Structure 1
Amino acid sequence: MSQDSTLLSATLTSASFLVLLQLFSRLFTFILNQALVRLVSPQVFGTAAIQFELLLSTILFLSREGIRNALLRAPTSTKDSGKKDDGESAGAGALVTNISLLPVLLGIPTSILATLVYLRTASASTTSQPHFHLAVAIYALAAFCELLSEPLYIRAQNELRFDVRVRAEGAAVALKTVVAFAVLVALPAEWALVAFALGQAAYGLTTLVSFLRAYRGRSLFWPRKVETRVHGNTKAMYFDPALLHLSAEMTAQSVVKHFLTEGDKFLVSRLSPLADQGGYAIASNYGSLVARILFQPIEETARVFFSKTLSSASANSRDALQMASTILLALLLLFTHLLLLLVTFAPPYLSLGVSLLLPPRYLNTSAPAILQTYIYYIPAMAFNGVLEAFFASVAAPSDLRVQSRWMVAFSMGFVAAAVAAARGLGMGDSGLVWANVINLLLRASYAWRFVLRFFRERNAGEMVSWRKAAPPMPVLVAFAMSALVTRWSQAMYRDVPLRLNAQLGHVGIGMMCLIGCLATCIVFERTTFRHMYTVLRRR
């Protein structure tokens, strides 16, 4: 098999593994969350799921995200070379290993600083909860424990050993939810925050132990000097200069990107009471369930694939460009169909779904209104994720600096729009999500312009266009007709109780419309699907 074929095969295997991992972990978490939200108050759930998770993601994202993305461009190692001892590794591999240790070193000051800032800025109603400071300390330690596994995570990614990550994260998610649930059941309600913190600590420890077991404990935590030959001369260095520079650029950009990604949680934690934070958290968990199961693995594997396929050595190869454009357009076409499905079928059936899923005490929070906005937030997240994955895979440091300046502008616009929507227009927490939708679409548009320029500069502009990512007209008509029929059905059942047995006719109409839309897609898009399947199979 050629190198491109091997890479695509490994990437598709990675996508399958990660989708299965996300399916298992999210459904497992979803089932236990259904029990957890009935054991704790919205105030406790909001603190743990919004504020503590924001602290955790801040530590992890700022410490590792830029370095992760930069090191995806490092040469791919084989499994055999991955089994060698670090002392026997080639010089280039050792320089990459040294950079992979930086998240551990950055994690120490980041954990301390982020924790101190959070404790200083948390509201009195938050800090007055029982055992609050103990829970915060456990979360910070859990974050650093997870960072200790980062060098081995990066090593597994570059060796395309995705099974290692799947086993580690699958076990970690299971233990996290079981530990949190067990502590909540065993201890009094005042220990609820500590229960969530212990669950996160179990996640971090399990991840670290799993990676250490996979590599038999062979991990370094401090960079070592490496001798390399440059133009016939031996030179001692710690880091590969190009990769280190790229890591620094991406890490600097991650500060702005993190705020844009988690900006809604920042604002919710500052603008909303604790009960509404709990409603926002449960709506976010339910609303993004499909996104996390499907889109997160696709985004991560797309970043790996584009980074390896369009490396500097092969970026001008016609075959590499054709393969990259085919994969990119296939993903965009998939997300376009998702947008059509959500916009057509979600609004008429959301009220029934909310009444069945949400505990009664959450129906009076902001959760129902927020779930309505996720109909549009999920597709925006999908489009932005894959387009920014392409950008991060091939952008030069100069491109990253320009994007960072635009992201600063986007973040300022996001804050203004979010505050105006939440306060000025009276939209509450759902206004924050609408502001995020606009922010994601702007970022996706910027990345799409970069995609077009990237292919044009390589005389391959004809390979990418929005028309190739849009369904044919008969499919659009089928979805439009289904939208009219399901909304007519919703109006007919408006005064019927929101119970499944009472709404069976409405649900049946929706199922028939869905089958009709899927059949139309099969009939009018079978040539497109067959072409994509042939390209992938040939590779």
Structure 2
Amino acid sequence: MSNAHRPRNDNLARASLLSASLATASSLVVLQLLSRLVTFVLNQALVRLAPPEVFGTASVQFDLLLATILFLSREGVRNALLRANEGQAGPSHSAGAQQRKSDQVSNIALLPVYLGFPLSILTSALYQLTSTRETRSQPHFALSVWLYALGAFLVLLAEPLHIRAVNELRMGVRVRAEGAGVVVNSIATFLVMLLGGAGWALVAFAVGKVVYGVTLCAVYLWEYRVPLSFPLIPPANLSRAVVRYFDKHLLRLSLAMSGQGVVKHFLTEGDSLILARISSLKDQGGYAVANNYGSLIARIVFLPLEETSRLFFSKTLSSPDPSSGAVQTPESLQSASDVLSTLLLLYSHLALFFLSLGPPLVPTLLAFLLPSRYLLTSAPLVLRAYCLYLPIMAFNGLLEAFFASTAEQADLTRQARTMLLFSLLFLLSALGFVRGMGWGEVGLVYANSVNLLLRAGYCYAYVRRYFSARGQPQLASLRAASPPWAVWATFAAAAAVVRASEANLPLEPTLKGRLVHLAVGAACGLVCLAVCTGTQRQAVGSVVSIVRKKKE
């Protein structure tokens, strides 16, 4: 192929990738919307069946156990294999070389299964040994812990096929697998709790996780029509078997990301770790309810965009092997910068909605959603604090997606050292907010906000270095991510109006008073949305144009 044809083909490839990324984003939004709606309905039923103590144990401590097993087993491998592109070798490589590359990548995808089994056992045993007497005294506690461990391992059994589906951009497979898992998880949890009563509440949550894992495996196996088998594929050259089982660069990257993930997991789940030690099970239940409501937007909107951007940046900017000589073109850098700036601009607008309208409306909304026994916990105050936490989490997730997609081993090593410093700062801020200022569970949310703000700042500094090192420092500018002055002024006025409406509510407002307050908030939100759309007409038009092209 001549050099004259390459820019055109590169542009077509980027357009195809962007189109596929948009399809990925829409599929993930559908998945998260389905998952969160089903979970929301389930939680509305469970908070009326399960006491706060049980809800706190399952949603804080057991979910932390599950997240620890899954994160440490698979996160590094997932992120590294997003950079795997078996066809990148090109026509100059033999079919045998390409097949060997494919086999080596497949072997790395099996590592979460091999890591997950011992990690599930060790983590579950350690959790039972270190849990408090109040927690261990609940009915069927040990059985529930081991069922959660089984559920985690079943999810890991499906991980190789999950990685295959993501790298093939077959998001429909993932949506069907995880969507079906969420539905059967919810049904199983509700039925066991309904039939068994409060004494079997912990087991109900655990059975739901096991059923979720079984369903996930079943759907992936059905979609790919493959047997459940996990032997490593032997290398063609047995004399170098130790070297050839895995792609060397991707394996090192997986190990580096997994090691870094230990610190990152502590920072991400630090609030749950501390909460399990300083709070009663009742307040843990209130925190869990607030977290479930607060994460609705995060999981429906932010998580799909974060995963999609990680996929797009990985395929656009990174090379699976630095020795291949692949470099980023100005067009690919510009494309990545455009996507990053557009998402940062979107997050800036969403942050204004959260900060201006969220805090004065949260208590009134919770009065309609929660039974009175949960309103007496820390849930209302925690959810108000989430209005600050969620925007920071969104910015951090996007910037960390860029970092994870482009960083090499040296970058990961530097970040890991910085993460250790952030861990210390998180502990100090948590101690100061929780103990020193007496903010309790709310202090943990603010400590997490400080932690995520530091991490986002570090990743943005990396973004600036990344583009500057490639001769394009202007592509890292934040100017394009800031809303115009008319948007800032509108949100400031809306914040003042809604807070004045809240101040006029009596201590025990009537139903009519609550509805009027919510109506004021809704009207202000619509005005803000109209101004945002009007001032960002060009950006909205470009997004609509891209979506239309994708459909065509």
Partner of 2:513: 502
Structure 1 104/515 Cα, relative in aligned 2: closer, same or farther at 3 Å?
same
* CA–CA distance in structure 2, aligned partners of residues 533 and 139 of structure 1: 43
**Does 1:294 find its partner at 2:301?**
yes
Match for residue 311 of structure 1 among 277, 301, 318: 318
* Counterpart residue type for residue 529 of structure 1: V
**Does 1:439 find its partner at 2:439?**
no
Partner of 2:536: 525
Match for residue 279 of structure 2 among 264, 268, 272: 272
Match for residue 156 of structure 1 among 151, 165, 180: 165
Structure 1 245/498 Cα, relative in aligned 2: closer, same or farther at 3 Å?
farther
- 1:303-452 aligned within 5 A: 303-312=310-319, 315-452=327-464
Of 350-359 and 259-268, more deviation after overlay is shown by: 350-359
| Residues 97-121 of structure 1, C-alpha deviations (whole Å, 9 max, x = no match) | 0000000000112111111110110
* CA–CA distance in structure 2, aligned partners of residues 452 and 282 of structure 1: 38
Task: Please give the secondary structure, in 2, of the residue aligned with 1:182.
Answer: helix
Partner of 1:82: none
The answer to whether the Cα contact below 8 Å between 1:418 and 1:432 also exists between their aligned partners in 2 is: yes
* CA–CA distance in structure 1, aligned partners of residues 285 and 482 of structure 2: 38
* CA–CA distance in structure 2, aligned partners of residues 350 and 507 of structure 1: 10
The answer to whether the Cα contact below 8 Å between 2:22 and 2:547 also exists between their aligned partners in 1 is: no
Partner of 1:458: 470
Task: Please give the secondary structure, in 2, of the residue aligned with 1:444.
Answer: helix
The answer to whether the Cα contact below 8 Å between 1:268 and 1:429 also exists between their aligned partners in 2 is: yes
* Counterpart residue type for residue 344 of structure 1: S
Partner of 2:21: 11
* CA–CA distance in structure 2, aligned partners of residues 235 and 288 of structure 1: 44
* Counterpart residue type for residue 167 of structure 1: R
The answer to whether the Cα contact below 8 Å between 1:151 and 1:219 also exists between their aligned partners in 2 is: no
**Cα displacement (A) at 1:218:** 4.1
The answer to whether the Cα contact below 8 Å between 2:86 and 2:98 also exists between their aligned partners in 1 is: no
* Counterpart residue type for residue 37 of structure 2: L
Match for residue 45 of structure 1 among 47, 55, 79: 55
* CA–CA distance in structure 2, aligned partners of residues 468 and 228 of structure 1: 52
Partner of 1:169: 178
* CA–CA distance in structure 2, aligned partners of residues 189 and 77 of structure 1: 54
The answer to whether the Cα contact below 8 Å between 1:330 and 1:532 also exists between their aligned partners in 2 is: no
Partner of 1:241: 248
Match for residue 262 of structure 1 among 265, 269, 276: 269
**Cα displacement (A) at 1:164:** 0.8
Identity of aligned residues (%): 50
Task: Please give the secondary structure, in 2, of the residue aligned with 1:503.
Answer: helix
The answer to whether the Cα contact below 8 Å between 2:317 and 2:332 also exists between their aligned partners in 1 is: yes
The CA RMSD measured in Å over matched residues stands at 2.1
Partner of 1:178: 187
Match for residue 147 of structure 1 among 156, 161, 164: 156
* Counterpart residue type for residue 127 of structure 2: Y
Match for residue 489 of structure 2 among 477, 493, 501: 477
**Does 1:115 find its partner at 2:124?**
yes
The answer to whether the Cα contact below 8 Å between 1:496 and 1:503 also exists between their aligned partners in 2 is: no
Structure 1 482/152 Cα, relative in aligned 2: closer, same or farther at 3 Å?
same
* Counterpart residue type for residue 404 of structure 1: A
Partner of 2:36: 26
* Counterpart residue type for residue 364 of structure 2: L
Aligned length: 527
Structure 1 144/495 Cα, relative in aligned 2: closer, same or farther at 3 Å?
closer
Structure 1 495/315 Cα, relative in aligned 2: closer, same or farther at 3 Å?
farther
* CA–CA distance in structure 1, aligned partners of residues 535 and 146 of structure 2: 57
| Residues 2-28 of structure 1, C-alpha deviations (whole Å, 9 max, x = no match) | 222221111110110110010011011
* CA–CA distance in structure 1, aligned partners of residues 516 and 377 of structure 2: 29
* Counterpart residue type for residue 74 of structure 2: R
Structure 1 76/172 Cα, relative in aligned 2: closer, same or farther at 3 Å?
farther
Q: Give the TM-score normalised by the residue count of structure 1.
A: 0.94
* CA–CA distance in structure 1, aligned partners of residues 221 and 80 of structure 2: 23
**Does 1:60 find its partner at 2:61?**
no
Of 338-347 and 219-228, more deviation after overlay is shown by: 219-228
**Cα displacement (A) at 1:506:** 2.6
Of 198-207 and 215-224, more deviation after overlay is shown by: 215-224
The answer to whether the Cα contact below 8 Å between 1:77 and 1:159 also exists between their aligned partners in 2 is: no
* CA–CA distance in structure 2, aligned partners of residues 307 and 155 of structure 1: 15
The answer to whether the Cα contact below 8 Å between 1:76 and 1:160 also exists between their aligned partners in 2 is: no
Task: Please give the secondary structure, in 2, of the residue aligned with 1:443.
Answer: helix
Partner of 2:524: 513
| Residues 336-387 of structure 1, C-alpha deviations (whole Å, 9 max, x = no match) | 0011011111122122112111211111111111011100111011000010
**Does 1:198 find its partner at 2:175?**
no
Task: Please give the secondary structure, in 2, of the residue aligned with 1:19.
Answer: helix
**Cα displacement (A) at 1:460:** 1.3
* CA–CA distance in structure 2, aligned partners of residues 235 and 278 of structure 1: 49
* CA–CA distance in structure 2, aligned partners of residues 433 and 139 of structure 1: 26
* CA–CA distance in structure 2, aligned partners of residues 330 and 220 of structure 1: 43
Structure 1 519/505 Cα, relative in aligned 2: closer, same or farther at 3 Å?
same
**Cα displacement (A) at 1:481:** 1.2
Structure 1 297/134 Cα, relative in aligned 2: closer, same or farther at 3 Å?
same
> Which runs of 5 or more structure 1 residues have no equivalent in the other structure?
79-86
**Cα displacement (A) at 1:248:** 0.6
**Cα displacement (A) at 1:495:** 5.0
**Cα displacement (A) at 1:161:** 1.0
Partner of 2:3: none
* Counterpart residue type for residue 535 of structure 2: F
Partner of 1:83: none
**Cα displacement (A) at 1:306:** 0.5
The answer to whether the Cα contact below 8 Å between 1:40 and 1:192 also exists between their aligned partners in 2 is: yes
* CA–CA distance in structure 1, aligned partners of residues 318 and 284 of structure 2: 43
**Cα displacement (A) at 1:509:** 2.6
**Cα displacement (A) at 1:523:** 2.3
Structure 1 366/420 Cα, relative in aligned 2: closer, same or farther at 3 Å?
same
* Counterpart residue type for residue 515 of structure 1: L
* CA–CA distance in structure 2, aligned partners of residues 422 and 121 of structure 1: 22
The answer to whether the Cα contact below 8 Å between 1:59 and 1:107 also exists between their aligned partners in 2 is: yes
* Counterpart residue type for residue 449 of structure 1: A
